[in-house]
Structure 1
Amino acid sequence: MVSPKKDLASVLVIAAHPDDEVLGCGGTIAKFAASGTPVHLAFLADGVGARGDAGQNLSPAEQQALDQRRAAARRAADILGAASVSFDDLPDNRLDSIPLLDITQRVEARIAQHRPDSVFTHHAGDLNIDHRRVHQAVVTACRPQRGHPVKTLLTFEVPSSTEWQPPGSGKPFAPNWFVDISATLAQKLAALDAYAQELRDWPHPRSRQGVEHLARWRGATVGCEAAEAFVIARHVQ
């Protein structure tokens, strides 16, 4: 397990949609923030565009849903103690229709803005296409070139996407990096409540109970009350 270090310049969480950050690493965000490390949140897709008519122009109802989702993201960020939140406007569940270069350039802009030591993003094997495309873009933007600020790259799991990928259809999520969130689980769940409209009823994995049970199970596997699990893609000491 690892603990946040106060000497880190900053942490950047790059997620496809608002709520992915809480589901995947909300407790870790809160733990970094409590340690004095600035955590910046960047969302690339609008989170609602795929729910209405085809095309990228949002209907009035979709625009209202988008405004509500972004307001929820800001409330969640405040609960977790994040330093900043940014929103992009890529189409929800259609990132496979966007050239990878375009997505990568948006990620590169956030990295240039925040100069993070550590980046957290989606796992490569998620069922959700947006998650996979964001993963590709982040890995591309974080190529280990001389002078690049990112030294640690970690991928998180998102309930109802990571575990829903059938065996053989994608890379399995085999965590090898754990963060003890025993002290920040309550903040994670409170931040999750900000996204009440996105939650489902138990036993759906994206229910409040499902998220807590996963944190408890991840904790039990490494000997603590609650944890979040990650796959470490790269770490330069």
Structure 2
Amino acid sequence: MKNKILMVAVHPDDETLGCGGTLLKHKKNGDEIHWLICTTIEKSHKYYEKREKEIEEVTEQYCFDSVHNLRLKTMQLDEYSMSELIGQISKVINEVKPTIIYLPFKGDVHSDHRKIFEASYSCTKSFRYPFVKKIYMIETLSETEFAPSTKEDSFIPNVFVDISEQMDKKLEIMKIFESEIEEHPFPRSIKNIKALATLRGATAGCEYAESFVLLKEIS
């Protein structure tokens, strides 16, 4: 049975940082992959046109089956009520009807990530969204590792996906987001992305891996 995957990206590039290799693997296995981008920069921003072109190119690279862009104001999600966010996300989830959802980590230091997680997770109740069978949280460099070092906020993965065959492609796609990458020790550097994948791969017994927290599985 093929799956329908919905990746909830708070910002464009979260999908590649957190589960780019896994999305490529889903596509290779014949699954549908869908991209929900939650926020956008202002049209007056100097990178706006460039970012729109980057999104188009990334869409082509992954061969997404659909892309949904809520165009919420980045770093200003506090301006939206939770019911408004839930309503917009729920509309997309009901349209895609995913069997698997990837969400930001609930403890990410970025407030946008935490708010989108809360709103998205509210849209996974089995009696309202019976098609959702698995829910994962992703690990996003520059956000997840800066969460408070407490038991409640620490990212403790329990699912690992071997992306050794997809790693080069993941890095190629990440390089499309030119303005988001800088040299090491900047968190979103190619070196750090490879280092994290190497670490997770060592845990999983492979060269490169992505890791996730499984929140729910219904079988």
Alignment TM-score > 0.5, same fold: yes
RMSD of aligned Cα (Å): 1.5
Q: Give the fraction of aligned pairs with identical amino acids, expressed as a percent.
A: 31
Instruction: Provide Cα deviations, 1:64-92, integer angstroms capped at 9, x if missing partner.
Output: 52232122122123222322222111111
The answer as to whether partners of 1:11 and 1:37 remain within 8 angstroms in 2 is: yes
SS of 2:144's partner is coil
Residues 143, 40 of structure 1: alpha-carbon distance in 2 compared, 3 angstrom cutoff: same
Aligned residue number for residue 153 of structure 1: 135
Aligned residue number for residue 64 of structure 2: 82
Of the three residues 165, 176, 197, the one matched with 2:147 is 165
Structure 2 gaps, min length 5: none
Instruction: Provide Cα deviations, 1:126-166, integer angstroms capped at 9, x if missing partner.
Output: 00011111100111011121662111000101101100122
SS of 2:175's partner is helix
SS of 1:232's partner is strand
Aligned residue number for residue 123 of structure 1: 105
Give the aligned residue type for 2:6: L
Give the aligned residue type for 1:157: E
Map 1:182-197 → 2, pairs under 5 A: 182-197=164-179
Aligned residue number for residue 87 of structure 2: 105
Aligned residue number for residue 13 of structure 2: 19
In 2, distance between residues paired with 1:212 and 1:9? 28
Aligned residue number for residue 224 of structure 1: 206
Aligned residue number for residue 4 of structure 1: none
The answer as to whether partners of 2:138 and 2:213 remain within 8 angstroms in 1 is: yes
Residues 169, 90 of structure 1: alpha-carbon distance in 2 compared, 3 angstrom cutoff: farther
Moved more, 66-75 or 177-186: 66-75
Map 1:39-50 → 2, pairs under 5 A: 39-46=33-40, 48-49=41-42
In 2, distance between residues paired with 1:70 and 1:34? 26
In 2, distance between residues paired with 1:169 and 1:233? 16
Aligned residue number for residue 207 of structure 1: 189
In 2, distance between residues paired with 1:225 and 1:211? 13
SS of 1:166's partner is coil
Residues 169, 67 of structure 1: alpha-carbon distance in 2 compared, 3 angstrom cutoff: farther
SS of 1:148's partner is coil
Aligned residue number for residue 33 of structure 1: 27
In 2, distance between residues paired with 1:31 and 1:43? 20
Of the three residues 63, 66, 79, the one matched with 2:48 is 66
Instruction: Provide Cα deviations, 1:2-43, integer angstroms capped at 9, x if missing partner.
Output: xxxxx2341000111101110010000100011111100010
The answer as to whether partners of 1:8 and 1:117 remain within 8 angstroms in 2 is: no
Aligned residue number for residue 52 of structure 1: none
Instruction: Provide Cα deviations, 1:45-70, integer angstroms capped at 9, x if missing partner.
Output: 11x24xxxxxxxx42xx1x5223212
Aligned residue number for residue 78 of structure 2: 96
Aligned residue number for residue 3 of structure 1: none
